[in-house]
Amino acid sequence: MGFCSPVCKTLRRGKYFVLLVLSLSVLAWITTFSGETVKSVSTDSASTQIIAKGDGLRDKFNSWTAAPNRVNPTPQKVKCPQESPLLQGARKLSFESSLKLKDVETENKAVTEGVYEPSDCIARQSVAILIPHRSRERHLLYFLHHLHPFLQRQQLHYAIYVIQQSGDATFNRAKLLNVGYLEALKDYSWECFIFHDVDLIPENDHNLYVCDQHPKHLVVGRNATGYKLHYKGYFGGVTAMTKDQFFQVNGFSNTYWGWGGEDDDLRIRVELQKMKIIRPAAAVARYTMVFHKRDSGNEINKDRMRLLGRTPKVWRKDGLNSCSYKTLSVDRLPLYVNITVDIGKP
Ligand code: UDP
Ligand code: MN
């Protein structure tokens, strides 16, 4: 060990000090760098915030991720309000004999292949409207003319499906509606289904085409019956059921050919499941039925009372799970999806 003057001692201490400072800064640099790598892995907005607090490299990363938003802010869509501000209440309906399909298409440019969704908010429900149909073209035209704007005022995400029975065997409304449900679910997981006669036009847009906790019957009154409920327990014309409610009752029976009974059968299925039937207030659940005579090929079903008696025994085997049919075509027309189907004969 040699001699060291006071100057020499100070220099030696300084050397250690510089060494210490150097190693500390190396350590600090390593920590910062590894932290950066971890944070950059996640790309959500939270990580962007963390990075925003950091140094030069972080600021650079931040400018890459945030710049597009600053330059071109994409407004986040929010849920549509509980009550649509577009509702108009009771309206006088018109049925112009001069109305043409082209006019209705022009009025509804926002509808694509029968589907619509609000552009400025996220709809509260996705609803499939199912219409059983054969040879009621004029009624269908009035229906499209009134229903498209009506549903849009309710700010719904919806699609209209028309299920056409092919051939001239006896009409079967219920089976067509089962087909509509099964086919529509191939397009989209609709949460709500509205089973809708083609000739019933709602008069008041506060009659909401959405589903509830319980199956809903929307036609309390119609012009032809003095706007009074047809009879206690009536569940026909227009009904709304969720995807799950309809599945739970195994849909409609497939065995009602001709006019009548199928809607009462559905009510029995609903009651067997201990579900209730709800209705909107009579003041809003009002419909105009476009006048018509009984169609040929849809004569009264004289067997309907006997069929209704066996519903509690057969509903599990007769319904969605036994609905056999042959789809002949699916045409995505501008204002509705047209499904033509061979459902057989009685
Ligand atoms: N329907 C149809 N073509 C027919 C028979 C019935 O399109 O030949 C459809 C149509 O949607 C109609 C529904 O089945 O609204 C119910 O039939 P209808 O109007 O005769 O029943 P009601 O007037 O007695 O309620
Ligand atoms: Mn009718």
pLDDT value at residue 145: 98
pLDDT value at residue 202: 98
CA of 130 to the centre of ligand 1 (A): 13
pLDDT of 9 above 60: no
pLDDT value at residue 80: 98
pLDDT of 23 above 80: no
Which residue's alpha carbon is at the smallest distance from atom 4 of ligand 1? Answer: 134
Question: For a pocket test of ligand 1, which of 199, 252, 288 has the largest count of ligand atoms closer than 8 A to its C-beta?
Answer: 199
pLDDT tens string 168-204: 999 999 999 999 999 999 999 999 999 999 999 999 9
Nearest 5 degrees, angle CA 189-CA 101-CA 289? Answer: 75
Q: Which atom of ligand 1 is nearest to the CA of 131?
A: 11
Average pLDDT across the chain, whole number: 86
CA of 335 to the centre of ligand 2 (A): 22
3-state SS assignment for residue 90: strand
For the residues 268-295, what does the mean pLDDT come to?
96
Q: Which residues line ligand 1 (CB under 6 A)?
A: 131-136, 171, 173, 197-199, 259, 295, 297-298
pLDDT value at residue 25: 61
Q: If we measure between CA atoms, which residue out of 176, 94, 168, 183 comes closest to residue 135?
A: 168
Q: For residues 336 and 327, what is the distance between their CA atoms, to the nearest angstrom? A: 16
Banded pLDDT at 6 (limits 50, 70, 90) = low
Q: For residues 238 and 208, what is the distance between their CA atoms, to the nearest angstrom? A: 12
3-state SS assignment for residue 181: helix
Find the ligand nearest to 291 CA.
Answer: 2
Higher pLDDT, 1 or 161: 161
CA of 234 to the centre of ligand 1 (A): 16
Q: If we measure between CA atoms, which residue out of 331, 335, 284 comes closest to residue 152?
A: 335
pLDDT value at residue 51: 30
pLDDT value at residue 49: 30
CA of 197 to the centre of ligand 1 (A): 6
* Domain ranges across the chain: 1-39, 101-342
Least trusted range by pLDDT, from 41-55, 136-150, 321-335: 41-55
Select the CATH number that applies to the domain covering 101-342 from these four: 3.40.630.30, 3.30.1540.20, 3.30.70.360, 3.90.550.10. 3.90.550.10
Question: For a pocket test of ligand 1, which of 295, 300, 301 has the largest count of ligand atoms closer than 8 A to its C-beta?
Answer: 295
Find the ligand nearest to 172 CA.
Answer: 1
Q: What's this model's pTM, rounded to 2 decimal places?
A: 0.81
pLDDT value at residue 103: 97
For residue 5, give every residue at least 6 positions away whose Cβ sits within 8 Å of its Cβ, in sequence order, or none: none
Which residue's alpha carbon is at the smallest distance from atom 18 of ligand 1? Answer: 294
Banded pLDDT at 75 (limits 50, 70, 90) = confident
pLDDT value at residue 332: 98
pLDDT of 62 above 70: no
pLDDT value at residue 44: 31
Question: For a pocket test of ligand 1, which of 129, 130, 136 has the largest count of ligand atoms closer than 8 A to its C-beta?
Answer: 136
For the residues 118-127, what does the mean pLDDT come to?
97
Q: For residues 114 and 288, what is the distance between their CA atoms, to the nearest angstrom? A: 23
User: Tell me, what amino acid is at 53?
Assistant: K
Q: Which atom of ligand 1 is nearest to the CA of 237?
A: 25
Q: Which atom of ligand 1 is nearest to the CA of 135?
A: 3
pLDDT of 339 above 80: yes
pLDDT value at residue 328: 98
For the residues 215-224, what does the mean pLDDT come to?
94
Q: If we measure between CA atoms, which residue out of 128, 253, 131, 133 comes closest to residue 193?
A: 128
pLDDT value at residue 154: 98
Other Cβ atoms within 10 Å of 66 Cβ, number? 14
The separation between CA 267 and the C-alpha centre of its own chain, rounded to angstroms, equals 24
For the residues 71-80, what does the mean pLDDT come to?
81
Least trusted range by pLDDT, from 2-6, 62-66, 103-107: 62-66
| Number of alpha helices (DSSP H) and beta strands (DSSP E) in the chain | 9, 13
Higher pLDDT, 85 or 68: 85
pLDDT more than 90, % of the chain: 76
The catalytic site residues sit at 197, 199, 259, 262-263, 289, 292, 294
CA of 292 to the centre of ligand 2 (A): 7
Other Cβ atoms within 10 Å of 203 Cβ, number? 21
CA of 265 to the centre of ligand 2 (A): 18
Q: For residues 230 and 302, what is the distance between their CA atoms, to the nearest angstrom? A: 20
Q: Which atom of ligand 1 is nearest to the CA of 289?
A: 23
Find the ligand nearest to 300 CA.
Answer: 1
pLDDT of 219 above 60: yes
**Tokens representing 40?**
């950059």
Q: For residues 317 and 319, what is the distance between their CA atoms, to the nearest angstrom? A: 6
Least trusted range by pLDDT, from 26-35, 140-149, 221-230: 26-35
Find the ligand nearest to 259 CA.
Answer: 1
What residues sit around ligand 2, an ion, with C-beta below 5 angstroms?
199
CA of 106 to the centre of ligand 2 (A): 27
